[in-house]
Amino acid sequence: MIKDWPRTAAYRNFFENNRDFVKGKVVLDVGAGTGILSLFAATAGARKVYAVEASSVACLCQEIVEENHLENIIEVVHGVVEDISLPEKVDIIVSEWMGFYLLHESMLDSVIIARDKFLAQDGVMAPSHATLYLAPVDMSDHFQERAEEWSNIFGYDLSPLASQLNIADVSKPLIKCIKSAAVKAEPQTVFTLDLKTVTVDDVRSFTSSLLFSVQQDSKIFGFAAWFDVYFYIEGNKCKEMTSTAMNRESLEKNTGDSNTDYLSPSSKNNKLTEKPSTSKDSPTVNNSKIFQEFLQLCPAQILSLKTGPQDPPTHWKQTIIILPQAILVEGGTEVYCRLSMAQSPENKRHYNITLKLDDDSNEDGSCEEFEDSSYSANTLDFEEPTDHPVPCCCGSDRCVLISTLIKKMDDEEKLMQDEVDSIQQEVQIETHQQLNAEITKDWQLDSSKSSQSLEDDSNLIEDGLPPS
């Protein structure tokens, strides 16, 4: 996290911009790691900071705290947040809990449990809200670059490997930074979480119906997902929000809807919206109306961390769900899909993703279903042998050959890198020797000039003349 500037800076700015609020408060850092967020909190004036870390990194965190002379404020707690106890309630819970597409390998469940156990009634969550987005994308550049890369490996055409890698992309989401130009329709909100009220049950499974308007002729290879998180403190003032009545009037004016639905999935059967969602009417998990109004009227006053294609790149990049087959979409066409995510029974930090896409070519209006299980299983069972993931350890002749080629290429690449490192080292040694030689030469020249000067002065003295 420390070297990921956008996300670290967002947390630092939260504490720096809210020093008056943080001063004298008790802070809980869930999953503290090396303790950078705890350091931010202590520096901003927190009275006490509990840095909870389950792994052995807690020992390193303690050393860092002591190195920065903050042990009188920061208390490192080595343990799982679900099992620990604290002597007091906390005013702020901070955590960098987000994973790929927000939820994969995330610590959200632990953060929710920590909130229910330790957060004071008027406490603050940082971040306070999180929104997941989805948009159709054209991945032509990605596949073209891959084809070119594998078409000439040491003079050999290994393009069949590129085809196998393309097949593997369909079996699991692709984590990659994409360009803004690849996004072919306005992103839509899958859901928004209010971290102050969302429950563990809320995030076990959900389904969202989304409608995308594609304005230009496009080739859609899949859908990209990314998220934004916000750091909002209730009670912050916005000049556009002077009264509750004005807030509601302004919201109606901005949305054109006096009955904006702030849906909590627990209140709806199957956690579905009844109609395709747009950015204005997407499912919202226990969301605060005040926050939504504040975000619409005073977006510049809410600190955010954004991970979209148009934003500075982060560790999370974007998550692309590749369709089994690209689809051609004419400009002005609306694309409807339904995205479902459910926690894996084997690992609650992994999700099974199902995408149902409305295919206009189906006369009966049925939907095609593409399911991704990569986050609940390492491989999938395919009927066709050519659909094996790459590399594959099934033992078939084809897969053994591909695995052997990949290993050979890895070994050759390592040898080449070792050779490059050796050459660089030789160049550095040669440069160093040349530099030493030049320095020695200059020193000898200076010494020679100095000796000559002394000899000339001696001759002048012998002739009875003053030295030069």
| Residues involved in catalysis | 96, 105
3-state per-residue secondary structure call for the chain: CCCCHHHHHHHHHHHHHCHHHHCCCEEEEECCCCCHHHHHHHHCCCCEEEEEECCCHHHHHHHHHHHCCCCCCEEEEECCCCCCCCCCCEEEEECCCCEECECECCCHHHHHHHHHHHEEEEEEEECCEEEEEEEEECCHHHHHHHHHHHCCECCECCHHHHHHHHHHHHHCCEEECCCHHHECCCCEEEEEEECCCCCCHHHCEEEEEEEEEECCCEEEEEEEEEEEEEECCCCCCCCCCCCHHHHHHHHHHHHCCCCCCCCCHHHCHHHCCCCCECCCCCCEECCCHHHHHHHHHCHHHCEEEECCCCCCCCCCCEEEEEEEEEEEECCCEEEEEEEEEEECCCCCCCEEEEEEEECCCCCCCCEEEEEECCCCCCCCCCCCHHHCCCCCCCCCHHHHHHHHHHHHHHHHHHHHHHHHHHHHHHHHHHHHHHHHHHHHHHHHHHHHHHHHHHHHHHHHHHCCCCCC
Q: Give the angle subtended at the CA of 401 by the CAs of 399 and 406, to the nearest 5°.
A: 95
Other beta carbons within 10 Å of 245: 8
Cβ atoms of residues 204 and 282 within 8 Å: no
The sign of the dihedral angle between the CA atoms of 176, 322, 224, 348 is: negative
